[in-house]
Structure 1
Amino acid sequence: MNSLAAFALATLVLVAVPGPNLIYILTRSVQDGGRAGIVSALGVETGTLVHVLVAVCGLAAFVTDHPIVFAVLRHAGAGYLAYLGVGALRRPPSAVAAGDADAPPDRRRPIRVYRDAVLVNLLNPKVVLFFLAFLPQFLPAGLTPADTRSHMLVLGAVFLAIALAFDLCYALVGAALAGRLRGTPRRERRLSYVTGGIHLGLAALVLV
């Protein structure tokens, strides 16, 4: 088995295990619908793309070599997840659930959903450590610096494609569950509590 096939298999195994990104996408899709889940998947993997580029350019080592930078990123990521969690807990039932089917849609929401997903991934320094440790394991020996960067880009693209496929599947699963979990103010309130609790739990996980 060549290194690329081994990398794809390892990525498939790793991504198949539900982690913070998949849980975030699932909860977002359940609470806000399939479109929000898909937008969240695209946002999360945009953050992954940035992490890959950081690793390829050698900037990931800067984060790991400076504990203060790592700590700032970690607390910023936890703080942002906590902010989203509190927002979910305080969120009122949707206008549709409250009986106002003619309420106008919020056209800015997809942009906010995308931004939130990008920041949730981007502000997680553990992802920086992951790519810094994971990608080099599948590089052939004896590569020049330029070839190393090229191979890491290819590996990053493979990881991104596999991760996005799983993200979209979770978004669709969340959309399928949304109809059963939403629909009335009481259900929406309970779902907000669950979503807020999950976000707060993910915030605590980032700090561990």
Structure 2
Amino acid sequence: MVETSAVLGVVTIALGMVLTPGPNMIYLVSRSITQGRRAGVVSLGGVAVGFMVYLLTTNLGLSVLFVAVPELYTVIKLAGALYLGYLAWNALRPGGASVFAPQDIPHDSPRKLFTMGLMTNLLNPKIAIMYLSLIPQFVDLDAGHVLLQGFLLGACQIVVAVSVNLSIVLAAGSIAVFLARRPVWLKAQRYLMGTVLGALAVSLAVDTSVPAAAG
């Protein structure tokens, strides 16, 4: 039902997004460094629930829209390409502080950590645009079961995002020390992810395919 190429496309985008510093990474890293790994894991639980909220709401709405108005595919594809280009520019431009720099943040209860993780993700424009503009383009209308395809592809994104973020949470302290001693590695990471995101943006922009309306 879901092509391997679609899964690989979503996984690639999910990796590019999760490895690009944003609200989720900054919040999780800051909590892990300041309050410990347990706090980071609790916060990640809230972030994961936020992904599920996006998965449910966007797929229920977009599955209907794509079947009824397949012309929206082009608009969504271009919006996704523009946003990927914006992320690539932010990664490649000079300057910017490391998200692994320790910050002075007060300790919070597990409930507040979970809630803050949830709200950070729900209010994260990067995640909203990913679900609204990037993942839907990999849905094949001709294959049918549009809603199920959306859920499966979204689940791939969640698995990648949670796995990578969990690794970052568990290793945040060690990474902070490593990057503090070797700043050139941070620059290399930014350039690598910026290049990947830029290539994806160009690929989406020049793609002229248009999905056929479902019967």
TM range (shorter): 0.5 to 0.7
1:24 CA displacement: 2.9
TM-score by length of 1: 0.56
Which residue of the other structure, out of 163, 188, 207, is the alignment partner of 2:202? Answer: 207
Matched residue, 1:79: 86
Ranges in structure 2 where 5+ consecutive residues have no aligned partner: 33-39, 108-112, 204-215
Judged with a 3 Å threshold, the aligned counterparts in structure 2 of structure 1 residues 21 and 177 are, in CA distance, closer, same or farther, namely same
1:197 CA displacement: 1.9
- Which amino acid is 1:74 matched to? A
Residues of 2 paired with 1:26 and 1:37: CA distance? 15
Residues of 2 paired with 1:188 and 1:79: CA distance? 27
Which residue of the other structure, out of 56, 60, 64, is the alignment partner of 2:64? Answer: 56
Contact 2:77 2:137 in 1 (8 A): no
Matched residue, 1:91: 97
Contact 1:46 1:118 in 2 (8 A): no
Residues of 1 paired with 2:93 and 2:48: CA distance? 20
- CA distances 1:30-86 after superposition (whole Å, capped 9, x unpaired): 9935567666666666665536632432266223356xx643542233114423x25
Which residue of the other structure, out of 16, 19, 22, is the alignment partner of 2:12? Answer: 19
- What secondary structure sits across from 1:61 in the alignment? coil
Q: 1:104 aligned to 2:95? A: no
Contact 1:48 1:160 in 2 (8 A): yes
Ranges in structure 1 where 5+ consecutive residues have no aligned partner: 1-5, 140-150
Percent identity over paired residues? 13
1:19 CA displacement: 0.9
Judged with a 3 Å threshold, the aligned counterparts in structure 2 of structure 1 residues 89 and 19 are, in CA distance, closer, same or farther, namely farther
Matched residue, 2:210: none
Q: 1:152 aligned to 2:146? A: yes
Residues of 2 paired with 1:189 and 1:182: CA distance? 10
RMSD: 4.6
Contact 1:60 1:128 in 2 (8 A): no
Contact 2:55 2:151 in 1 (8 A): no
Q: 1:168 aligned to 2:162? A: yes
- Between the two proteins, the alignment pairs up a number of residues equal to 178
